[in-house]
Amino acid sequence: MGYFLGNLGPKVPTRVPHAGVEQITTDRFVHPRYVPGDRKTEKPVVQQGQCGRRRVVCDRPRRGASLPSTEASRPSPSRLAGVSISLRRRFRALPDFPVDLPGFDPATAPADPVELFLEWLDHALSAGVPQPHAFSLATSTASGQISSRMLILKNIHEGAWHFASARGSRKGRELAANPQAAMNFYWEPLGRQVRVVGAVSLLSAEASALDWAERPGADGQANPDWQLYALHPTEVEFWQASPDRHHIRHRYAL
């Protein structure tokens, strides 16, 4: 294990109980929490004549609401800009993290990130998070063109995180050219994210065949293109949203 103290901008380091571990609380993502119906946090959006025949004040953007008249009277490029303003308001009005979030004290976190991941995974399972073993996998071409997609975590064995796909797929070709990848798990009801970054290696043909054979709906046909991969993390970062918006990062460098 080595130290990895990347520059994450404004930060308040707390205790560092394990070598190679950095704990950060950050308020870099602070923005006013939107509380529907609360005039202190809600920004009224005035839309004249947009909510029926009467001139009305809508306090919330409506799906498909047309543009305020000032925007609508402009030529089409500005109208496009207006559409994006309206979309921005709709996004702004969407719910934030749940108010009732689990606590996380990095000082009591285990030294092994896999142990912590399994704790968080169990918590996600008992909280009813659907497919908590689903993650986004980012890969890139040799020249640095990035792509990502969702996959299913197959196993974690001896510190390596397993996933499977076709070698001939885009990700398979990218991994052949550049065997590095980043995983990202997100458990929305818990306000938790885990990211895992590292080098990727191929597991054996036997292990890949077994994974293919065990897939739901397997019909007994072999698939020699199916490949089980192992990601060997150099970095695992746990992120916990906090109701006071001082979100916590706990990062292991391996």
Residue 3 neighbours by CB distance under 10 Å: 10
Binding part of the chain for ligand FMN, among 72-80, 142-150, 180-188, 229-237 by CB under 6 A, reads 142-150
Q: Cα–Cα distance between 30 and 212 in angstroms, integer?
A: 44
* CB-nearer residue toward ligand FMN: 192 or 247: 192
Q: Which of 41, 48, 147, 201 binds ligand FMN (CB under 6 A)?
A: 147
Alpha helices in the chain (DSSP H): 69-72, 76-93, 113-126, 170-177, 205-214
CB of 216 to ligand FMN, least distance (A): 11
Count how many Cα atoms sit within 13 Å of the Cα of residue 180 in the half-sphere of its side chain. Answer: 12
Torsion on CA atoms 57, 62, 65, 67, rounded to nearest 10: 50
**Under rule CB under 6 A, how many of the chain's residues touch ligand FMN?**
12
Q: Cα–Cα distance between 95 and 93 in angstroms, integer?
A: 6
Residue 9 neighbours by CB distance under 10 Å: 8
Q: Is 79 in the site for ligand FMN (CB under 6 A)?
A: no
Paired residues of 192 in beta bridges: 187, 240
233 alpha-carbon distance from chain centroid: 17
Q: Cα–Cα distance between 114 and 125 in angstroms, integer?
A: 16
Q: Cα–Cα distance between 231 and 254 in angstroms, integer?
A: 13
CB of 133 to ligand FMN, least distance (A): 9
Give, as ranges, the residues between 30 and 59 that touch ligand FMN (CB under 6 A).
none
Give, as ranges, the residues between 149 and 188 that touch ligand FMN (CB under 6 A).
149-152, 164-165, 169-171
CB of 252 to ligand FMN, least distance (A): 24
CB of 170 to ligand FMN, least distance (A): 4
* CB-nearer residue toward ligand FMN: 109 or 228: 228
Residue 172 carries which side chain, given as an amino acid letter?
G
* CB-nearer residue toward ligand FMN: 195 or 251: 195
| Contact between residue 185 and residue 131 where contact means Cβ atoms under 8 Å apart | no
Q: Cα–Cα distance between 192 and 120 in angstroms, integer?
A: 8
CB of 226 to ligand FMN, least distance (A): 8
CB of 229 to ligand FMN, least distance (A): 10
Kindly state the tokens that stand for 140: 């890139």
Q: Which of 69, 73, 131, 141 binds ligand FMN (CB under 6 A)?
A: 131
CB of 153 to ligand FMN, least distance (A): 8
The residues that touch ligand FMN, with contacts defined as CB under 6 A, are 131, 134, 147, 149-152, 164-165, 169-171
